[in-house]
A and B are shown apart, each in its own frame.
Chain A
Amino acid sequence: DGGITQSPKYLFRKEGQNVTLSCEQNLNHDAMYWYRQDPGQGLRLIYYSQIVNDFQKGDIAEGYSVSREKKESFPLTVTSAQKNPTAFYLCASSMGKGTDTQYFGPGTRLTVL
């Protein structure tokens, strides 16, 4: 089955800790994205990557970091510099162009204790 997986489904973090969210796709897509979703708001772009070893900041990149060492994987690290990290995080991928249909993973809910 082709698709996008995210892990873990739920994540709890203490203040001051860095945590890493996993995103893997087997769709052979070049582009991958990380979004943040807060209640009552639209999805907001954190980072995106067009190809391996390349990534760009989105609208709310502060306090986050990413890597793209493999085509299939695009992990997101939420650092202690992110002041309000409690949110639902969604990973997506698309074939190549940013205007192609994006396919989404099931999401990770991060809660800061």
Chain B
Amino acid sequence: KQEVTQIPAALSVPEGENLVLNCSFTDSAIYNLQWFRQDPGKGLTSLLLIQSSQREQTSGRLNASLDKSSGRSTLYIAASQPGDSTTYLCAVHTGGFKTIFGAGTRLFVKA
């Protein structure tokens, strides 16, 4: 059974710092992996989607990497800003219509 874990559960950094969020999954047979952000009391917004054949994807200050063999993905945020303060969720597609979500990492960027 696929399980997705995100550590740490919460993280606080000063503004301007580069940081890495971690996501691990137990079964390497994935179709793709997606990173979302979720503001308090709101829905999810897609940030990056990495296909299983890809190693990384970049969007602006965000870079997501994927290492299927080790069951790990990282989300790198460069030059963090207070607007980056939110919860980041990792989700794994294993095929079909079921997506497995991690519990998220809550990020706080201090101005």
Contact = CB atoms under 8 A, between A and B. Distances in A.
Interface stretch (A12-20, A37-45, A62-70, A74-82): A37-45
Contacts of B96: 98
B26 interface: no
A103 B41 contact: no
A96 to B, nearest CB: 10
A106 B43 contact: yes
A40 B103 contact: yes
Interface residues of B, number: 26
Contact of A42 (B32, B45, B103): B103
Interface in A89-113: 90, 92, 98-99, 101-107, 109
Q: Which of A31, A101, A105 has the most CB of B within 10 A?
A: A101
Contact of B99 (A6, A45, A56): A45
A48 B34 CA distance: 19
B30 to A, nearest CB: 9
A6 B42 CA distance: 11
B102 to A, nearest CB: 5
Contacts of B44: 43, 90, 92, 102, 104
Contact of B102 (A4, A42, A88, A106): A42
Contact of B93 (A4, A48, A88, A99): A99
Interface in B65-111: 89, 91, 93, 95-104
